[in-house]
Structure formats: structure tokens, C-alpha cells
Structure 1
Amino acid sequence: MLRALSGKQPVAQIEPPPTSTLVDIPSHHNAVIVVEGGGRVLNFNSHARQWFDVQEKLPDLEHLSRRCRPSETLLKLCAAEGQAKFALNGKTVEGNSYRIPYPSGNVMVVTLQTPKENPQTIIESDSSDQSLQIINKLSASTVADLALKPTLKYILESIEEFLPADATEVTIWDEDSETLQPYRLVGLAGLERNIEKSFPQYQLGKGFSGYIAEQHKPLLISSVASSKDIRPTIGRAKHHFQSYLGVPLLLGENFLGTLEIMARNENVFTENDLAILELISGQAAIAIYNSIVYEEEQERTRELSNLAELSQASGSSRDISEFFSQLLKNIPSLIETNIAGFLIYDENRRVLEAQNPFIGIPPHIVEMYKTEIPIGSAASQIWEKEQTIMTAEAAEDPRLQALGIDHIAQAAGIHATLLVPLTAGGRNLGYLQVGNKKSGGKITENDKRLLEIIAGQTAPIIENAELLHQSIKRALRSEAIRRIANLAGSEATTDEILKYSLLELVRLINAEKGAIFLFDEKQGKLELHIPSGYQLSQDAQEKFAQLANISNFHKTVTYTTHPLFSNQITTTDIPPLYQKAINTLEVASLIVVPLIIRDRGIGEILLSSSQRGAFQKIDQQLASAIAGQIAIALDKASLATETDDSLRQRVEQLTGLTRVSQALNSTLNLETLIQLVFDEAIHLTQADCGIIFLLQQGETKSAAPEIMFRIG
């Protein structure tokens, strides 16, 4: 054949085909992406760049997938050969992927093209399919977890899977505050994501959400920058979203909130996306409503459980601080506030004062958190109304200003606050106060309703605790008086009786210092009984060694026999005689009661405290009762001493007379008899010296008598 082919034969002339016979090949409009293993984009044609609306030469595959719904579809096509239909920037496309060899290994060629069917049919079919997928997924998810946040998470994640959104949000309508509470899905796709409650709330009629809430109509904005009539809120505008789509969540005629999606580029959302969002909003509204009802029921159950626990916990405590601590343990979690505590009214002093502990307020501020409610004052009028006080700014509320606690609220940093009266048996015991919501929002009507329930339950508990406390206190006082009476009737010395009686009294009324002063009738002085002094320094003992003398004794409680009581010491309500004691002991509250025997003062007891309002009138009454016991003991000791001295003196007198009588019968020596009488008289009278004269009468009456005999 080679020879044959190499022989000399005529060579055929091959004419080139005429150019007119070449067929023009039309250019395609498919988007082509070439991706190597690991997801790196090797090639990206102009149609793909236009469809994905990107400017980079070789964009990131993850960035491209975010333009697709579902976003995983493009990633799956780049990972394995296949065919799929999905949404790209709101448009339906068909994708095919092919694996081809490449020097560095196999690569995937992905082609995207517009479906050949009727576009309107595609849109309607695609919308229905995507909506059905979202609804099915949503139904399955909400059945698994009825709580609100998981439900919102499922809704927003499902929407992100099928719609080209860079951010999603659900708002829930709050009927009490007439605001929309936003919830956003935060976190990166593919990682752990959570629903986060955002602040501030959206106002009705303001911003995109407020417009939907007011009109109950969907809102599609292709260019936020070009929108003049409706503008986003400040908080949302800072995220620089350029496309917005939102629909109302309606359950019948009931408005529940809004369902919203946003994108950073303009013209991202289409009427097709709006149709999908409207289709799923009905199912989303049902799921959200069920979650709200479920959480309300759970909240009621938790409230009842905490209230039951509150009642059980408080019933077992007798210490007043522990008692209020037990009552407060569950209240902040029920109302979700940073501040919670009790203001209890003292009828004897007409003072409304905070009780320690007071959650959210330092103890030193709680000590100052008290106010007097004088009869007929503006504070008394508010107190007698027994009304709930709810305010957004405590320091500026006229009712709190009238009560005189606005400055304390300002010092403690209390802003939004709620005070509910504690009423039991027709008597107002005080207020239960909460303040400063943890969310930073206002106190709501629901908070008021719940706190009124709590106050209604705790008021009888507080009343019973108060009665129990009073009963225990009366028992302790009775026992103390009994011990003092036994001590007074015992063989104890006067010093022991005074010391331990004063110690019992000081402990009963919680005084800080105590002293007993006794009146010395012979010297006319009111002197400190040093052995019985309680918490008196050496300096105080020296200053109080003599409280009064004969010149100012008439100004003492011992002289007047009228007790002295003051819970708020001033220079005008205390006699000057006691000013030295006040200055030395740093007295803010004072009780002075007399020691009285047969309507005659024999001394007094002084009790003091550096705290204002430390004593009550019943403390004065108790001090007077114990002072009576001490006075009786002192009188008995005095009588016993006087009886012994008188009896000894009488015996000595009789003995002396006996010796004189015997001498008269045994001798007639006048000098001896007179000397004996002289010696006995000096001894019995305990005189230092004396003299006896025997006078001889003169012969006449006018004559002066003469000393006949003299001794001494």
C-alpha cells in the first residue's frame, strides 16, 4: 500500500469548502463555574458573574452559595455530579454538574440555565413547592419543641434555607406596651445559632415593622435608600440593609407580630419571595401563637410552684431577716427585676421602713430607707388609700415624693418601680416593692397583676409572722421579768441584782448602753452605780460619776418620777441635765425611767442607742416594769440594813442600862457611878467627846449654881 501510495499517480486536488457552507453556532447564556476539589473556584464566566451579581474575578464558593436557596444545593452540585433546581437571587435556575479530568486532579464543571418552561408556571410551582417544604419542616420542628425561642429559630432557619436573606427577624406584638419585641437569629450558618431578643422595641407606626403592625399589610422594598415614605428605625438602619421584605403574622383578626427578611444588596427580593413568605406566614402565626400560649401556661405553672414554695419556705423561719430573705428568694425570678424588697409599717412609731435584705440595694442604704408618716400629712393620705404605685421614674413620681422616699430611690438607683400594698385583715402592713426590669423595659400590667397576687399571698404570712414575733417577744419579756423577780428575792447582793437586771433589760430592748443612778439622800447626790454599768467606757464612768446634785436634782427623772423617751434626739426635747450623757454616749435614741418606792424616786435607769428609732413605747413600758422590780429589791435591802442597825443599837442600849443598874446596886461612890454613866453614854451614842456636870443650888434663888462635880 505504501508503494502504491508512493507511485506516481495523479494527485487529486482537494478544494477547500466554501466559507458560505459554515454554519453559525449561537452563543449560550448559561452560567459556568469550574470548581476544583476543596471548593476553590478556578473559572467563573461573565454570565455567572452577572447572575450572582459579584465583581470579584474568582469569588469564594461560600459567598456564592449564600445567593442560593437552599444554599446547600449549589455546594452539593460542586461536590458530586448531579442535577438540581433552586433559586438564585430570587430566580429559578436549573443546575448540572460534570466531573472532568484536570492536571491537578478532577474538577467539577457546573452549568446553570434558566428553565425552558413558562416562567409564570415555574414561579407558581416553585413558590408552592418551597412553601410546602418550609411548612412541612416547620410543622415537624414545632411539634418537637413548643417553646417560643426554638419555634422562632426553626421558622427563621427554614426561611433562610429557601429565600435569599442576609438577616431574618420575627417581632412579637406586646399588647400592654403596644410595641413590637424583635427576635433575631444570630450566629454563622453551619455553626451553632441562637435566637436573641433585641432592644429597643419597635413603636407602632414607626419604621418598617411599625408600618406593617399599623396597616396589617406586607411590605416589599427593593431599595431602602430610595424609600422616602417609610424609613427604617435607627437600630436597623445601622446594619446597612438595602432590600427588605416583611409580612404580618395574623391569626384570624388577631395581630401577633411580623415576619421579616433583609439583604445587603438592592433588588434582591421579588414578588415570588413575597408570595412564599405570605404562604408560610399563616403556619408560622399558628406555631408562634401555640408557643406563646404554651409559655404562658408554663409561666403560670412556674408562678404557682414558686408561690407554693414561697409559702412553705417562710412558714418555718422565726428570725426576721431570714424570714424576709425566704420571702424574697423567688420574687425576682417571677417578675424579672433587679430590685425587690419589703417596706413594713411600724404603727407605734408611724414609720415605713425597708427590711434587710433588700435585693439590689446595699445594706447601708437599706438602713436609711425609712420615712415617717405623720397624721394628716400628704404621706398619710397616700398611705390610707392603699393603692398600687407604678411609675417609670421613681425619683420624679409625686406620690413617692409625698411619701418621702424619692431621694432614697435616687440614691439606690431605682428607676421603673412598682409598690403593691400588703393588706391583711383590713390593715395595711406596708408595701412589696420591685424595680428596674432586667430587660431595661417598663413595668407592665402583667407584672402588676403578678405582684398583686404575690402581695396577696405574702401579706397574711407577714401578719402571722408579726403576731408570732410579738408573742415570742412577750414570752421573752415575761420570762425576763420573772428571772429579775427571782433574783430580787434571792440571797444575791445589791450589786449583783442591779448588774444582772440591767443586763436582761438591755438585751430585751436591744440597747447599746445602759446605766443605773442611785440617789444618796444624806449627800443630796444622784450617783452612777459603777458595778452595773453596761458598755460604759472609763471616760463615761468618770463623767457620769455624779449626774446631779442638790442644786439641779429637781430636774431629774428621779425627782419628777416621769419617764423620758426620745427616738430622735434633739437639743430641744431633752433636759440640759442629760446633754452631757447624750454627747458622751453618742445617743440618738434614749429611754430614762425612774426607780420609785412609795411615790418617791430613789434613782433611775438610763438606756441609749446610736440608731434613730431604735426603741418603741413598749420598750419604755418594759423598762418601767423592770425598774419597779429593781426598786423593790433596793427597798428590801435598805429595810434589812436599817433593821439590823436598829436592833444592834437597841441591844447595846439595854446592855449599857443593865451595867449601870448593877453598878448602882453594888456601890455608893458617886464619882464611880457618874464615870460609868459617862462611859456608857459615849459608847452608845458613838460620840467623840462629852461632859457631865453636877450642880449645887445656891442658898437663894438668885444665886448662881456651883459646879459640884465634873467629868469629861
Structure 2
Amino acid sequence: MDTGIQSGLILVAFGLALTVLIWALTRWALRSQSSWQAAIKNPLAEMPDHEDAVLLIHSGGRVDYINAAAQKLFGLTENETPNLERLARRTRPSDVFWKLCVSEGKMRFSIGGRLIEGVSYQIPGADPVILLSLRQPELSSGLADAQDVSGSVLRIITDFGQAIAENLNLDATLKAVIENVERLVPADILEVKVWEQASQIFVSYRFGMRNGVSYLESSANTRFGNYSPYIAEQGKPLFVSDTQKHKGIRFLEETDQYPIRSYIGIPLQAGGELVGLLEVGQIAADAYSQEDLGLLQLIAGQAAVAIRNALLYENEQRRAMELSGLANLAQSAGSLQNRKEFFAALVNSIQPLFAIKTLGFLLYDEDRRVLEGQNPFEGIPSHIVDIYRTEIAVDSPASNIIKAQKTIVTQDAKTDEKWEELRIHNIAQAASLRESALIPLVSSGRFLGYLQLSNHTQGVREFTKNELHLMDVVANQAATIIDNANLVQQTRQRARRAETMRRVASLVSSSATIEETIHFSLRELVQLIQADSAIVFLLDDDEGALIAHESSIYGNHDKEIEEFKKLYIDDPQYRFTVTSSQRSFLSGNLQIDERVLGFYRPLVTASEMESALVVPIVIRERGAGEMMLLSRQPEFFTRYDLQSAFTVAEQLAVALETSKVSEQTDENLRLRVEQLTALSRVNRELSGSLNLKHLLQVVYEEGLRTTKADCGTITIFDQNPVEEGKLPKSILALGCA
């Protein structure tokens, strides 16, 4: 029972304590309700007055609060609801404003043409917000009195110098200058012009848009009319509050339209040398103040030094690249194992030296008088390079251009007069060539061809003096390399030719048959000059026809050979053949060559051959046949190949003559031996037998064997007198009768 009483007392005490706790919490909540409501209604009511513009930005982009200073800064009315996108459109550059709205930071930008310094703070909590404070730095005092430079001005100059000095690359430096000037001075158009010493012109750099992305573009044109050359000439800043009212110099001479109403231009000088211009402009009049001019003058010195350093760095980098490229160019001479690989190495070594889309070599073959492109040709498809050739006629305008050995520079290769005289303007049209340069390749006074460069990667522009000078240096070195490579190749070809001729001569003097000699000699020649097909025709005196020697055929021409296997000497075409005329035939375009006889036309048409080389086989000043070599490549065979073919043809003529003499000697000797053998046997039989019939049978058999006759007759007549008008009487007869 005592236990039950104790439990009840504990429960009563716990209930009283819980009641008191609930009563206390209720009183506290009622007292705090009024202060919560007041805080919810006006969260920033207690904030004291100040000059800073303040915005409270929700994480979703909603502006929860904007004070009166900010409304005035952004040009909002008292009851206008702030919209973050509309606010961003009034800032320059807007991406800086967006960065401050999403994260903590401190940056400068402009609002309505005024320089603003913005600081953002992130306020943590269940629903975090960004507090953005904006104020206009005090610049006027610092700019008005050079002896009293304010902290804001020093900070602006320091930040500007650090930003543009981070990278020595010219494009990166110019981009940094433009970006930082945009943050300091509002501008609808902003250009930095750089003086290009080689071409003696100003190149304008500005921001452009491509597919919605900002990029740095360059141009030889200016958007500031006559003001740019005026500043360059005078070397002084130019401040124009309204271009329409400015009397000193007209913006444009030929029109009264003024796209720029407010303008500031500053010459950029470093070390007493003009390196460029800094120009800003706005569409609205009176948009700039003297403070803006002073601010640009303060940063102009740093910008000029940064640009000059970037130019010097770029020149050094270019020289290092040129030296490296020339070194690689010299090393490429060791890659002459394959003609295509050799020119690929040359092109790859030269390409980094120039901002060019089209680069390659045109080589001149003095023997064929042909100027032709070499694969690979950067920027031109290989199938166009295959037809990139022109014949240089003797004493023609093209021949005079070749003899002059001068550089040909044009802004439009398709319509250039010299390109038309060389008859390569059609290739220029097919390959869409614009500005182009043909640099002559000359080694030891001998013209080897041209180095061609076309189409700048940065758009249409003229070749600068530096580019042309570098082209001359590269062309001179490339000409030496190509000439040496040709000499090496010719030496190797002579060695191969000598070895081929040695093997052919050894084959001719060996015990090989004439069939084997023709077959293997022709294949040695084919391998030497890299022909696609070959065949030998021999004159058959017994049949009186020029006949294809089938065992010598190289290439798949079985069907075509059947159509022109034989040409009789009484055919009118025979006297025009190489065999009959004993004159060689060389053609580089068989499909349209009218000299091709109808006898050969089926082979040319069916096999689609483009080049042919035919030499006669002459024995004792008499045509005994001809040797034909074919290639699918146009203008393939050279005079050097013709000499090699003549040498092999002479060896085949010796082999044919030796074979015929040997055959004739062997046949006469065999017949003589057979005759003596027959007489010896007959004499032996006559001495050993008196049987007349047996003796006649022996004589009959030996006569058939010696004469190789199929049948014969031996008849013995009666020696008694025969009456007139009657035949003598046969006593014995053998053979067919």
C-alpha cells in the first residue's frame, strides 16, 4: 500500500511540473508575437541611411530588397518591381554583374556610363541570399590633382596593370586591355589599334560575336572614321563630347551620319614610340566627362608597355619558330625514301611558319616542259593536285615568266593575269584560292619550280613584308633541299639502271632461250621505270606480220591482245609503226593523242592507259620489232626512261640476231651430218650385200630420213630398147608407187 501511495504522489508532482512549463511557454510566445510580425513586415527598417546602393538577391534570382540609392542608380521608379535581367542589361560588362549576384566577390563595372565598385556577401541560412553593395569610387579628386592620388585611383591602376600583365601573348594582352577598359569606362564601341611595323598600318582589335560567343576579332578598318589617323598623326589625346558639333575635324567626310556621338581617343606610346591607339565611343552625346579622359590617360601608359612587350614577345616567339621550322626543314632532306613522304615532310615543316590554309610545291620538269603540283598539297584535295599541271610552250608568255624567276603575288589568283598566262587559274578557281604567292625555287641559277602559299587563316589580307621575306628564306632552303634530293634520286636511279643493264646483258650472253631472255629482260625494265604494263612485238618474216610476243606480256591484257595480236606488213598502218619507221614514240596523254594508230587503240581504250613509251628493235638497220611500255598516270615517262628502254631494246636485238644465226647454223650442220650419216650407211650396205631389193630399200629409207619426206618412189627400168611411143618396162619399184 505504501508503494501505491508513493507512485501516486510522483504522478501528481510530474503533472504539476508539466502544467507550469506549458503556461510559461505560452506567455513567452504571446510576448514575442508582436516583434516577429514587425520584423516580417520590414526586415531592414532598422538599417541606417547611407550612400551605398544595396540589393538583397534570393538564390533563385529574385530581388527581395532594393534601396532608394540602388533604384536611382539603375533608373527605376519608386514603385517599379526590380527584375535582375533588366538590371543586368544596364551594366557593362554584364557578366561581371552576374558573377557578383551569384557568389561573393569584389569587382568593377559600369552602370549607365558611371564606374561602379561592387561587393557581394553571401548570407547563410536555410534559404541563403546575396547582399550586393554598390558604390561609385571617388576618382575626381585623384584625377584632378596628381599630387593627391586617392586610394581608389591607385587600386584601379594597380588592378589594371596586374590584369594585362598576366599573359605575354598579344591576343591575350589585347583581350585583357579591352575587358578592363570596359569595366572602367562605358563604351558602345571600343577598339585597340596596334601599329604593324612590317605593313605600316594600324590593325584594329575589338570584341565580336560568333554563335553567341564573344571573341577577339582583328581588321584593317576602323570604326572611328577620321579620328584615328588624326590621333596617330598628332600624337595627342582627342576628347569629343558631340561629334556632330565638333568643329576641329569631321568624323567622316563623305556623310553627315554620325554613328558615334561621344568619343575619346588616346595614343599608346612606350619608350617614345607609338605602339597603338585606344579609342572608345558611345552612341549618345555628352556621355563622357573629363574624369573618363583622365582615367584612360592614367592606364594608357601601362597598356602601351604591355602591348609593346607582347609584340616583342611575339616577334621572339616567331623567330624561334622560324628557326625551329628551318631546322626541321633541313632535317626533312633525310626522308627521301618516297617522293610523297619527302614532300609531306617539307610541307609539315613549313606549315607552322605561316598562318596559311593552302601550301605546297609546283615543280618544273625541264625535259617535258611541265609545271605540276606535288602530292600532298595542303589545302587542295589530291584528285585536284593530280590534274594540277601545265605545259610550258617554248617562247610563250608562260616560258618568259619561268625564265624571269620572280615572285608572283596576287590578291585573287582566279583572275590574275600571270596565273592565266601560266594556265593554272582554272585550278585556282576549283580550289577557291584567293590571295596567293608563288615563290620561285632556284638552286645554282636553275629554276626548279614554285613554293605556293594561299588563303590566310584569319581571312583575306595582303601578304606582309615579313611574310614575303620569310617565304624567300624558306624557298631558298627548300630549293637546295629539293635539288640535293633530286641529285640523290638521280644517283640512285643511275645505280639501279646500271644494275638492270648488267643483268640484262648477262641474260643475253647466257645460255637462256630467246623466250626467257625477252621475258626477264622486259620485267627488269618494268621494275626500273615503274611501268604498269609492257609488251614486245616481233616481225615474223615467214608470215609477213608484226605479231605480239605473248610470253613477254606484262599486265592483264589477254582480252585486248586478241583484238590486235597481228598486223600484216601489207596493211597501210604498218609503215607508221615504230618497227617500220624505226622512230621512238612517247606520249603522256594517249586518250586524246591523235598519233595513236588504230591498231593500238583497243589496248589503249580498254586498259585506260594514259602514257606510252615505244622503242624499235633494230637488227642490221632493219626493224625486227618494237617494245611498248604503258602507265596509267599521265605524263609519266621521261627522256631518262626512253634512254633506258633504248638500251634494253638494243640488247634484245643482239639476242634475237644471235638466236637466228644460231638456229641457222645448227640446222645446216644437222642436215650435213644427217646426209653424211645416210651416205655412210648406204655405202656400208652396198659393200656388204648383193641383194638389189635390199639395197634399194636401204637407199629408200635413208632418203626419207634425210629429206624428212612422208613418201617416195624408187623405180628401175628395163635397159632394152623400147619401141617408139611406148614407156620403158619397170623391173623393180619401191615406195608409194
TM-score class normalised by the smaller sequence: 0.7 to 0.9
Query: Structure 1: how far apart are the matches of 2:662 and 2:358?
Result: 63
Change (3 A) 1:337 1:90: closer
2:531 pairs with one of 502, 511, 514: 511
Change (3 A) 1:123 1:164: farther
Query: Structure 1: how far apart are the matches of 2:407 and 2:132?
Result: 72
Query: Structure 2: how far apart are the matches of 1:86 and 1:483?
Result: 86
- Aligned residue in 1 for 2:41: none
SS at 2:452 equivalent: strand
Change (3 A) 1:352 1:55: farther
Could you tell me the TM-score, scaled by structure 1's length? Answer: 0.80
The amino acid across from 2:686 in the alignment is L
- Aligned residue in 1 for 2:45: none
- Per the TM alignment, residue 252 of structure 1 is displaced from its structure 2 partner at its CA by 6.3
- Aligned residue in 1 for 2:517: 497
Change (3 A) 1:75 1:127: farther
Alignment deviations for residues 324-369 of structure 1 (CA, whole Å, 9 cap, x no partner): 0001103222111110000011111011110000001011100000
Alignment deviations for residues 81-124 of structure 1 (CA, whole Å, 9 cap, x no partner): x9x99998677999999xxxxxx999989897999x9x778744
Query: Structure 2: how far apart are the matches of 1:600 and 1:109?
Result: 107
Verify: 1:295 aligned to 2:314, yes or no. Answer: yes
2:563 pairs with one of 534, 543, 562: 543
Query: Structure 1: how far apart are the matches of 2:427 and 2:297?
Result: 53
Tell me if structure 1 keeps the 8 A contact 2:142–2:148.
Answer: no
Verify: 1:471 aligned to 2:494, yes or no. Answer: no
1:404 pairs with one of 423, 439, 452: 423
Change (3 A) 1:558 1:50: same
Mean CA deviation greater in 146-155 or 217-226: 217-226
- Aligned residue in 1 for 2:33: none
- Per the TM alignment, residue 440 of structure 1 is displaced from its structure 2 partner at its CA by 0.7
- Aligned residue in 2 for 1:190: none
Q: How does 1:206-285 map to 2 (within 5 A)?
A: 206=225, 209=228, 212-213=231-232, 216-222=235-241, 229-230=250-251, 243-251=262-270, 254-262=273-281, 267-285=286-304
Number of equivalent positions: 661
SS at 1:255 equivalent: strand
- Aligned residue in 2 for 1:601: 623
- Aligned residue in 2 for 1:13: none
Change (3 A) 1:218 1:54: farther
Change (3 A) 1:341 1:109: closer
Query: Structure 2: how far apart are the matches of 1:75 and 1:557?
Result: 90
SS at 1:198 equivalent: strand
2:579 pairs with one of 553, 558, 566: 558
Tell me if structure 1 keeps the 8 A contact 2:100–2:118.
Answer: no
- Report % sequence identity: 36
The amino acid across from 1:391 in the alignment is T
- Per the TM alignment, residue 650 of structure 1 is displaced from its structure 2 partner at its CA by 1.8
SS at 2:194 equivalent: strand
SS at 2:618 equivalent: strand
Change (3 A) 1:94 1:440: closer
Alignment deviations for residues 38-79 of structure 1 (CA, whole Å, 9 cap, x no partner): 59463443x76555545683546874994799x89x989x99
- Aligned residue in 1 for 2:32: none
The amino acid across from 2:587 in the alignment is S
Verify: 1:649 aligned to 2:671, yes or no. Answer: yes
- Per the TM alignment, residue 179 of structure 1 is displaced from its structure 2 partner at its CA by 4.4
Tell me if structure 1 keeps the 8 A contact 2:57–2:132.
Answer: no
- Aligned residue in 2 for 1:171: 193
- Per the TM alignment, residue 270 of structure 1 is displaced from its structure 2 partner at its CA by 0.7
- Per the TM alignment, residue 511 of structure 1 is displaced from its structure 2 partner at its CA by 1.9
**Structure 2 unaligned blocks of 5 or more:** 1-48, 121-126
SS at 1:428 equivalent: strand
Alignment deviations for residues 20-48 of structure 1 (CA, whole Å, 9 cap, x no partner): xxxxxxxxx98674544759463443x76
Verify: 1:419 aligned to 2:438, yes or no. Answer: yes
Tell me if structure 2 keeps the 8 A contact 1:30–1:111.
Answer: no
Query: Structure 2: how far apart are the matches of 1:513 and 1:94?
Result: 82
Change (3 A) 1:162 1:564: closer
Query: Structure 2: how far apart are the matches of 1:515 and 1:536?
Result: 11
- Aligned residue in 1 for 2:65: 42
Tell me if structure 2 keeps the 8 A contact 1:695–1:705.
Answer: no
Query: Structure 2: how far apart are the matches of 1:105 and 1:669?
Result: 147
SS at 1:395 equivalent: coil
Q: How does 1:679-690 map to 2 (within 5 A)?
A: 679-690=701-712
Tell me if structure 2 keeps the 8 A contact 1:92–1:122.
Answer: no
Two-structure CA RMSD over aligned residues (Å): 4.5
Query: Structure 1: how far apart are the matches of 2:118 and 2:636?
Result: 86
Verify: 1:325 aligned to 2:344, yes or no. Answer: yes
- Aligned residue in 1 for 2:409: 390
Query: Structure 2: how far apart are the matches of 1:279 and 1:419?
Result: 48
Query: Structure 1: how far apart are the matches of 2:669 and 2:131?
Result: 131
Alignment deviations for residues 372-425 of structure 1 (CA, whole Å, 9 cap, x no partner): 111111001010111011111001111111111111111111111111111111
Q: How does 1:91-130 map to 2 (within 5 A)?
A: 123-124=144-145, 128-129=149-150
Verify: 1:315 aligned to 2:334, yes or no. Answer: yes
SS at 1:413 equivalent: coil
The amino acid across from 2:338 in the alignment is D
Tell me if structure 1 keeps the 8 A contact 2:564–2:600.
Answer: no
The amino acid across from 2:687 in the alignment is N
2:647 pairs with one of 612, 625, 642: 625
Verify: 1:568 aligned to 2:589, yes or no. Answer: yes
- Aligned residue in 1 for 2:680: 658
Change (3 A) 1:231 1:674: same
**Structure 1 unaligned blocks of 5 or more:** 1-28, 98-103, 188-192
- Per the TM alignment, residue 432 of structure 1 is displaced from its structure 2 partner at its CA by 0.5
Verify: 1:457 aligned to 2:480, yes or no. Answer: no
Could you tell me the TM-score, scaled by structure 2's length? Answer: 0.77
